[in-house]
Structure 1
Amino acid sequence: MVPHLITALNVPINELEQRILDSMPAIERWFRLEWMEHTPPFYSSVDVRNAGFKLAPVATNLFPGGWNNLTPEMLPLAVQAAMAAIEKICPEARNLLVVPENHPRNSFYLSSLLQLKRIFHQAGLNVRFGSLNPEIKEPTTLSLPTGETITIEPLIRSDRRLGLKDFDPCTILLNNDLSTGIPGMLEDLEEQYLLPPRHASWSVRRKSRHFKAYEEVSKRFGKLLGIDPWLINPMYAQCDEVNFADGSGMECLTSNVEAMLAKVKRKYKEYGINEKPFVIVKADNGSHGMGIMTVRDVRDLPELIEKTRARMAASDDLNNVTDVIIQEGVLTNERVNEAVAEPVVYMMDRYVVGGFYRVNAERGVDENLNAPGSSFVPLAFADNGRLPQAGEKPGSSSPNRFYMYGVIGRLAMLAASYELEATDPDAEVYD
């Protein structure tokens, strides 16, 4: 079944889709040349919002979970991509050590880990799981509702290597975003490959830095296609030294929200868009429980801040957020069974390997869908396996629409590679 997308007849997205399909050879060559100069993240997922008049990424995850939401038909693509990625890094690899989140008790997350294990096992690797959690002192087997089990083991650190008992890996794959900091156990692993690198963690990353890189990518891509980069790029601003506990830094937040709403309003007027602009305010490092705020009017900000302050105080996150990003809000006009939805694109190495729709019937078109009440619908198209067709009417073909989502996902992935290069502590220039 093909999920029904109510954006299928919206003209601006169809024009963008047509431009992308007509430019497919140039686009693929452009990506190929970029990957000759830049190293893609080992794996990533990108949340995409399709407003009908604009298509843009709103979040890029370099430690993606949710692999269990990929359909069986997508797994061969993932296996091929895993083979290509491992061959580039450690061709002789036999063993892969996966480091999961510290408290992997959620059954959906455990299913995601097992899916990763299946992918890399079929790519020719022995896969085991080692935890950074000091409470894991012996192999611990966890059961899933499906009847499957997964064993998490304590990590063992030697002089220059990290492994498990009787298990010495060539490569260590982090599926833990290290938002609370980088443990010493992961330092100085000179004889092993750590993927993604330590500076990809949320203790180092900033969303504003990522979207700065994405802005550069979108300008270059817009020039290639001859389009306004705004059609694929969410504008943003950033405030540091914000303190929700004592109220300091609120002037910066208020002025930037007001300025961003004005910028979006001007763009809507330019394109004849009859929608109310809004912005999203969230923690810049993405690692804390700060409530994401949807702001439609700057006069609503004091009340929203007070509500956010109450939520953060209740979750002990009050003093953890000091930097925020103010991002242009992108509507999602997609629906699955009448519920608001957004596509999530999954990639490994430089390849798109699949994706799904995040669906949340309890949220509106201008709200964050990655919240309680969300569910997932695989991107299982009725004509699965077909390549995009340049001659088809825009909006009529699922492969065409998914190809367009994959292009946006890869643009965000390329921005992440720029971002990681700029923040590499071992590079000559540290940004």
Structure 2
Amino acid sequence: MVPHLITALTGPINELEQRILESMPAIERWFRLEWMEHTPPFYSSVDIRNAGFKLAPVDTNLFPGGWNNLTEEMLPLAVQAAMAAIEKICPEARNLLIIPENHTRNTFYLNNVVQLQRIFKMAGLNVRVGSISREIKKTTVINLPNGESVTLEPVIRSKRRLGLKDFDPCTILLNNDLSAGAPGILEDLYEQYLLPPLHAGWMVRRKSRHFQSYEEVSKRFGKLLGIDHWLINPMFTHCEGLDFNDGTGMDALSAQVDMLLTKVRRKYKEYGIKEKPFVVVKADHGTYGMGVMTVRDAKDLEVLTRKSRNKMGVIKDGQAVHDVIIQEGVLTQERMNNAVAEPVVYMMDRYVVGGFYRMHPERGVDENLNAPGSSFVPLAFEHSTQLPQLGARPGASAPNRFYMYGVIGRLAMLAASYELEATNPDAEIYD
């Protein structure tokens, strides 16, 4: 089952698909050489938007939840990728500790933890879940609506290691994006692998830095394929020193929005695109679809309601928003079950392992779909994303569409590896 595009099947996106399929050997070799030089994030997920005239990532998550939305058919891919990732980092690994988010009663999220536990258990590890939440003071079993359960145990910090009672892991998997900062309990660990590293958390990470890296990657990839990198890259800028509550910095934000809209209009004119351009203003750090608004005209910012200001001013864990990324809005022209949809690609190590369509029946083609009311339909992996059907008519083959998503997802993952190298506090600096 592949969603239909509401644009004609002979649009630029099919030309892009054709170019990607024709260049498959060169693309795979290019990725192979990149992974010889750069280390992929341990795991990641990428939100992709297909506008019919361009295909681009709009968000990259380095602590992906939602693993429970992958189908049983995808599990072997995930298990093999987990084996490869662990073998590369700690071949003798025996025990793995998962540190989840602190909102312990969200059963949708806990289903994701159970799925991660299953994947790494099948990869040959003893896996337990250790909570750093103050609420978890003793072993707590939470029963889930699907009949499964998850056991959360309070973590124990010795002088230099982190573990549980009678459980000493060599590898600690963070499924907590550290929006509120890195707790001291996770710092200065001795001979334990923390995956992803602390500097992948939102107290360090910035979306603008990620998309700066992605722009660099997309330019090089565009040169490889002989295409305009704009077709796979959302333009962006950013604005600092804002206070949405008292209006500080709003003039600067309006100016940046106006400048980016002008650039987008220029591109639309170049390609004969009749759609009305828009930008998306997002908190430069943080996740869960909070601190996001669509802007079609810089003048709209002058009349923001108090409710809109409040929504933009604070994100997850009560973090105030002072810096934003202003990103070229990418329409989604995909539909699933008559609802607006976007693909989300899941990766572990350097491998695409699956994904799903995020759908929202109450949102428009130019709105954020990562919001209450969204639902998920697994990507139909009749064939691996690595095995496109060469010779099939562009736009007609699900594996070909998924392969294209996988290429864009891996480009964003490569950008994340560049980003993590640049922010690594332990990296050697040469003059």
Shorter-chain TM-score: what band?
over 0.9
Q: Aligned letter for 2:63?
A: F
Summarize the Cα distance change of 1:39–1:305 in structure 2 as closer, same or farther, 3 Å threshold: farther
Is this contact kept in 1: 2:142–2:149, CA < 8 A? yes
- Residue number in structure 1 paired with 2:246: 246
- Residue number in structure 2 paired with 1:130: 130
Q: Aligned letter for 1:68?
A: N
CA apart distance, 1:8 = 6.7
Q: Aligned letter for 1:101?
A: E
- Residue number in structure 2 paired with 1:274: 274
| Cα deviation digits, residues 31-79 of structure 1 (max 9, x gap) | 0000000000000000000000000000000000000110111000000
Is this contact kept in 1: 2:210–2:419, CA < 8 A? yes
Is this contact kept in 1: 2:291–2:314, CA < 8 A? no
Q: Aligned letter for 1:161?
A: R
Q: Aligned with 2:216: secondary structure?
A: helix
Is this contact kept in 2: 1:202–1:285, CA < 8 A? yes
Is this contact kept in 1: 2:283–2:312, CA < 8 A? no
CA apart distance, 1:111 = 0.8
Q: Note if 1:344 corresponds to 2:344.
A: yes
Q: Note if 1:398 corresponds to 2:394.
A: no
- Residue number in structure 2 paired with 1:40: 40
CA apart distance, 1:347 = 0.0
Distance of 2:383 and 2:168 partners within structure 1: 43
CA apart distance, 1:292 = 1.2
Summarize the Cα distance change of 1:318–1:377 in structure 2 as closer, same or farther, 3 Å threshold: closer
Summarize the Cα distance change of 1:385–1:28 in structure 2 as closer, same or farther, 3 Å threshold: closer
| Cα deviation digits, residues 188-213 of structure 1 (max 9, x gap) | 11310000000000111000000000
Q: Which moved more, 1:97-106 or 1:295-304?
A: 295-304
Q: Aligned letter for 1:71?
A: T
CA apart distance, 1:291 = 3.6
Summarize the Cα distance change of 1:240–1:172 in structure 2 as closer, same or farther, 3 Å threshold: same
Distance of 1:404 and 1:287 partners within structure 2: 25
Is this contact kept in 2: 1:245–1:319, CA < 8 A? no
Q: Aligned letter for 2:171?
A: T
Report matched runs for 1:10-29 at 5 Å.
10-29=10-29
Is this contact kept in 1: 2:293–2:312, CA < 8 A? no
Q: Note if 1:211 corresponds to 2:211.
A: yes
CA apart distance, 1:338 = 1.0
CA apart distance, 1:335 = 0.1
Distance of 1:18 and 1:354 partners within structure 2: 22
Q: Note if 1:60 corresponds to 2:70.
A: no
CA apart distance, 1:316 = 9.8
CA apart distance, 1:149 = 0.8
Summarize the Cα distance change of 1:316–1:121 in structure 2 as closer, same or farther, 3 Å threshold: closer
| TM-score calculated relative to the size of structure 1 | 0.96
Summarize the Cα distance change of 1:379–1:12 in structure 2 as closer, same or farther, 3 Å threshold: same
Is this contact kept in 1: 2:313–2:321, CA < 8 A? no
- Residue number in structure 1 paired with 2:424: 424
CA apart distance, 1:94 = 0.8
- Residue number in structure 1 paired with 2:70: 70
Report matched runs for 1:108-187 at 5 Å.
108-187=108-187
Distance of 1:311 and 1:102 partners within structure 2: 22
Summarize the Cα distance change of 1:200–1:315 in structure 2 as closer, same or farther, 3 Å threshold: closer
Q: Aligned with 1:326: secondary structure?
A: strand
- Residue number in structure 2 paired with 1:324: 324
Is this contact kept in 2: 1:10–1:52, CA < 8 A? no
- Residue number in structure 2 paired with 1:388: 388
Structure 2: state its 5+ residue gaps. Answer: none
Structure 1: state its 5+ residue gaps. Answer: none
Q: Aligned with 2:363: secondary structure?
A: coil
Q: Note if 1:224 corresponds to 2:229.
A: no
| Cα deviation digits, residues 152-209 of structure 1 (max 9, x gap) | 0000011111000010101000000011011111111131000000000011100000
Q: Which moved more, 1:117-126 or 1:243-252?
A: 243-252
Instruction: Tell me the number of residue pairs that the alignment of Structure 1 and Structure 2 aligns.
Output: 430
Q: Note if 1:258 corresponds to 2:235.
A: no
CA apart distance, 1:317 = 8.4
CA apart distance, 1:290 = 4.9
| Cα deviation digits, residues 250-307 of structure 1 (max 9, x gap) | 1210100000100000000000001000000010012588541101111111223644
- Residue number in structure 2 paired with 1:379: 379
Distance of 1:17 and 1:312 partners within structure 2: 36
Q: Aligned letter for 2:70?
A: L
Distance of 1:278 and 1:262 partners within structure 2: 10
Summarize the Cα distance change of 1:209–1:96 in structure 2 as closer, same or farther, 3 Å threshold: same
Is this contact kept in 2: 1:309–1:318, CA < 8 A? no
Is this contact kept in 2: 1:156–1:165, CA < 8 A? yes
Is this contact kept in 1: 2:206–2:284, CA < 8 A? yes
Distance of 2:90 and 2:317 partners within structure 1: 40
Is this contact kept in 2: 1:288–1:317, CA < 8 A? no
Q: Aligned letter for 2:153?
A: E
Is this contact kept in 2: 1:244–1:305, CA < 8 A? no
Is this contact kept in 2: 1:422–1:429, CA < 8 A? no
Q: Aligned with 1:9: secondary structure?
A: coil
- Residue number in structure 1 paired with 2:235: 235
Q: Aligned letter for 2:13?
A: I
- Residue number in structure 1 paired with 2:304: 304
| Cα deviation digits, residues 312-341 of structure 1 (max 9, x gap) | 579898871110110000000000011000
CA apart distance, 1:415 = 0.2
Distance of 2:131 and 2:286 partners within structure 1: 22
Summarize the Cα distance change of 1:287–1:386 in structure 2 as closer, same or farther, 3 Å threshold: closer
Distance of 2:221 and 2:311 partners within structure 1: 40
CA apart distance, 1:381 = 4.8
Distance of 1:252 and 1:117 partners within structure 2: 46
* Identical residues among aligned pairs (%): 76
- Residue number in structure 2 paired with 1:195: 195
Q: Aligned letter for 1:16?
A: L
- Residue number in structure 2 paired with 1:105: 105
Q: Note if 1:31 corresponds to 2:35.
A: no
CA apart distance, 1:107 = 1.3
> How large is the RMSD of aligned CA atoms in angstroms?
1.9
Is this contact kept in 2: 1:139–1:152, CA < 8 A? yes
